[in-house]
Amino acid sequence: MDSKIHKRVVKLLICPVVVFVFMACSSAPVQEMSDARQAIQAAKSVGADENSQSNLVQAKKFLKKAEQALHIGEYKKARVNALAAKEEAIQAQQFATLTNF
């Protein structure tokens, strides 16, 4: 009898943890979207509009795709595109910084 109670208690403790893990995996990529927007703004602030337009344009395209995916609940796709937007914006910022000197 004690073994059955023990198993039940373990199941009751594990279930919320499993649910939390699944929820965390499928949650909206709020931080990634924010990071991408900030990276694009940082790139613009060092003159990326003039100097590294291809990377900045690509970053904006990725961000738009991320926003569209987020709107329809495709969080994984939104996260991937937001991360790509951030990387493109960082490259744009680095290029603009190097060419401004």
Residue at 94 is within a domain: yes
Q: For the chain, how many structural domains are there in total?
A: 1
Residue at 78 is within a domain: yes
User: For residue 64, what are the domain limits?
Assistant: 28-99
Report the amino acid identity of residue 46. V
Q: Which two tokens stand for residue 75?
A: 């969080």
Residue at 38 is within a domain: yes
68 vs 98: which has the higher pLDDT: 68
Residue at 12 is within a domain: no
Question: What pLDDT sits at residue 4?
Answer: 72
Read off the pLDDT of residues 28-72 as tens digits, 9 standing for 90 and up.
Answer: 999 999 999 999 999 999 988 866 569 999 999 999 999 999 999
Residue percentage of the chain with pLDDT more than 70? 70
78 vs 11: which has the higher pLDDT: 78
Q: pTM higher than 0.95 for the full model?
A: no
Please state whether 58 falls in left (phi above 0), alpha (psi between -120 and 50) or beta: alpha
Cβ atoms < 10 Å from Cβ of 94: 15
Residue at 20 is within a domain: no
Beta carbons of 36 and 66 less than 8 angstroms apart: yes
